[in-house]
C-alpha cells in the first residue's frame, strides 16, 4: 500500500485565492483526520470523519475552511478565501477505527499564502 497520499506537496498562492488540498486514505481505512501544523500552535486537529461523516469539526478555524469526503477513500480541505495566516503545513491522517486507532499520516501539504 502506498500509504496516505496528499496533493499538492507545496502550494503557493495569493491572498484571496481559493485553495484545495487533497487526501487519499489508505485502502480499507474508515477514519480521516485533517491537521494543521505551525511553529506557534503545534499540531492542531481541524476536523475528522468516520465512514464519510464529519464527527468533530470544532477545530475548523472559521467559515473560510470546509472539508468533504465525497467517497470512502478521498477527502478535500478547501480554504476560500485564503489569508496569509493560513500558511502552515496541512496533514491528513487515516486510521482503521476498529483496529485500535493508530493514525497514519500523509506527507503533508506546505501552504504559503502571500
Partner 1 sequence: GENVEQHPSTLSVQEGDSAVIKCTYSDSASNYFPWYKQELGKRPQLIIDIRSNVGEKKDQRIAVTLNKTAKHFSLHITETQPEDSAVYFCAATSGTYKYIFGTGTRLKVLA
The residues that touch partner 1, with contacts defined as CB under 8 A, are 31, 33, 42-43, 45, 48, 50, 55-56, 91, 95, 97, 100-108
CB of 16 to partner 1, least distance (A): 28
Edge-to-edge strands, sheet with 65-71: 5-7, 19-24, 74-79, 65-71
The smaller minimum CB distance to partner 1, of residues 54 and 81, is found at 54
Q: Which residues pair with 79 in a beta bridge?
A: 19, 65
CB of 89 to partner 1, least distance (A): 9
CB of 69 to partner 1, least distance (A): 16
The smaller minimum CB distance to partner 1, of residues 18 and 56, is found at 56
Gap between the Cα atoms of 31 and 27, Å rounded: 11
The enclosing H or E element of 34 equals strand 31-38
Amino acid at each position: 500500500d502506498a500509504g496516505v497520499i496528499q496533493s499538492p506537496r507545496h502550494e503557493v498562492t495569493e491572498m484571496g485565492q481559493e485553495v484545495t488540498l487533497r487526501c487519499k486514505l489508505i485502502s480499507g481505512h474508515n477514519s480521516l483526520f485533517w491537521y494543521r501544523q505551525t511553529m506557534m500552535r503545534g499540531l492542531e486537529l481541524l476536523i475528522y470523519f468516520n465512514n464519510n461523516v464529519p464527527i468533530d469539526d470544532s477545530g475548523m478555524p472559521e467559515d473560510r475552511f470546509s472539508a468533504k469526503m465525497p467517497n470512502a477513500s478521498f477527502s478535500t480541505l478547501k480554504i476560500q478565501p485564503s489569508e496569509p495566516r493560513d500558511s502552515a503545513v496541512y496533514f491528513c491522517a487515516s486510521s482503521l477505527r476498529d483496529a485500535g486507532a493508530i493514525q497514519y499520516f500523509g506527507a503533508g501539504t506546505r501552504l504559503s499564502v502571500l
